[in-house]
Amino acid sequence: MISIEKKSVNSNLLIFKFQNYDLLYPEDITEVLSFSDNKGAFKEFNYLNTLGKSCYKKIYVIGLGTTEEFNSTVLFKSIGVALNSIKNSIDNLDILDNLDVLDDPNYDLGYTIGESVSLSLYKFEGLKSKPKASVLKNVNIISNCKDSILKGIISGESINFGRELVNLPSNLVTPKYLTQKAQEVAKSSSIDITILDKYMLEKMGMNSITYVGNGSVHEPYLIVLQYLGDPSCKEITALIGKGITFDSGGLCIKPTKNMFAMVSDMAGAASVLSVMKAVTKLKPKKNIIALIPTAENMPSSKAYKPGDVIKSYSGKTIQVISTDAEGRLILCDAITYAKELGATTIIDVATLTGSCANFLGNINIGLFSNSNKLANNIISCGEDVGENFWRLPNNEEYMEKLKTPSADLKNSGNNCGGIVAGMFLKSFAEDVNFAHLDIAGSALNESCTEVYEQGANGKPSRTLIHYLTK
């Protein structure tokens, strides 16, 4: 439970310290601090037993570095370091927010505190018979910035909702399960939702989605959520999330070594659903639609095959070279439908290519766009929240790799995988402002970092929420 009060509530306290600037604290805390050897270096963390000199039993100190280097990302990571160090050892904590002396219009520190606290407290308990939850249950933030902190908590808890979906196994998180979770989000916020089932998809001609799902016993769907924050405006932003709940590779089956990790191939869908959960509570004055094509890519006698030619919803025909390049197939029909719904900007989020993951690792998210303005806005928003993007080239010459005598284009080239996948999707977006975010290498943490534990981290939800609400 996270609360926001202007007074002490719990028996432990977390405070901040700079290397070159002394923040003001009550006399009893200042006296205890005089015994601390914490110099205030970025992420330097320790604690002091107060020995009865304060109303608190323990005072934890986290360093923020110098004021010159300080920004919201420094604060975000520092809080994460502190909470992840103690969340399994104490059951309650006050956090003293006395950073208002650093008031800067470039960042909202209250929002950052709320977001970091909620994201840091998340712990995936799995499906164990005796799960081990975090010991830390009650956190109170002592602050005058309640409204900003509450907004940060909304963002963090919405992202944790998506992280949980990614962390759960695919025998639970099926396409049907995703539709149910989307319906819960819509019901809780009274936004419009439409679920297109397999019958409707076939009737409409969304063959690129249905073909991918043909090999599975779990039928595909297209989920459409619509939030109208400014009905008088004609600008509509469409978010599209890849929702492959398990990717075996289909008949072009993946190597078994890491196939178990393909339960996370719906991380793009989870991110988009998280963003919609947040914006319906933060209520930006923008029009936003979310489209989540979801299917399971499995091999069977009914599965689509290499060499098949599919007529997409746009009317363009696609020759299947690899059934393991399925994400771009379900996305292309969703992109066409987003345009039909009036989208003026389209952003897709997908764990799309191994080549992007190999090239960028988990440090940068691959960004492909036909718009300099849109690309720069996303990169800038990422910098604001500490998420990194690397823009990929979009020279028309790359389209040569998608030419085939059998159809209008094929679904895979021989090399330049991440770029070619972006070119494939751009050919369906056409002249609409379009960005493709390839999160194949960055959606999961292999180990615990400052804020995130091992597993799903929700990227790039923080960037997208910031982009839509700033």
Residue boundaries of the structural domains of the chain: 6-143, 157-469
Beta bridge partners of 365: 389
Is residue 386 within 8 Å of residue 378, measured between CB atoms?
no
pLDDT tens-digit map of 75-102: 999 999 999 999 999 999 999 999 987 7
Listed in sequence order, the residues at least 6 apart from 397 whose beta carbon sits closer than 8 Å to its beta carbon are none
Q: Domain 6-143 is classified in which CATH homologous superfamily?
A: Leucine Aminopeptidase, subunit E, domain 1 (3.40.220.10)
Structure confidence at residue 103 (pLDDT): 66
| Peptide bond before residue 299 is cis, with ω within 30 degrees of 0 | no
pLDDT score at 102:
75
Q: Which residues, listed in sequence order, are joined to residue 221 by a DSSP beta bridge?
A: 294
Extract the tokens encoding 422. 């972006």
Q: How many residues does the chain have?
A: 470
CATH architecture of residue range(s) 157-469: 3-Layer(aba) Sandwich (3.40)
Which pLDDT value is given to residue 219? 98
pLDDT in tens, 234-286: 999 999 999 999 999 999 999 998 899 999 999 999 999 999 999 999 999 99
Q: What is the pLDDT of residue 150?
A: 98
Q: Write out residues in the chain with pLDDT < 70, as ranges.
A: 103-105
Residue 134: per-residue pLDDT: 87
pLDDT value for 416: 87
**Do 157-469 and 6-143 fall under one CATH topology?**
no
Residues carrying an active site annotation? 254, 328
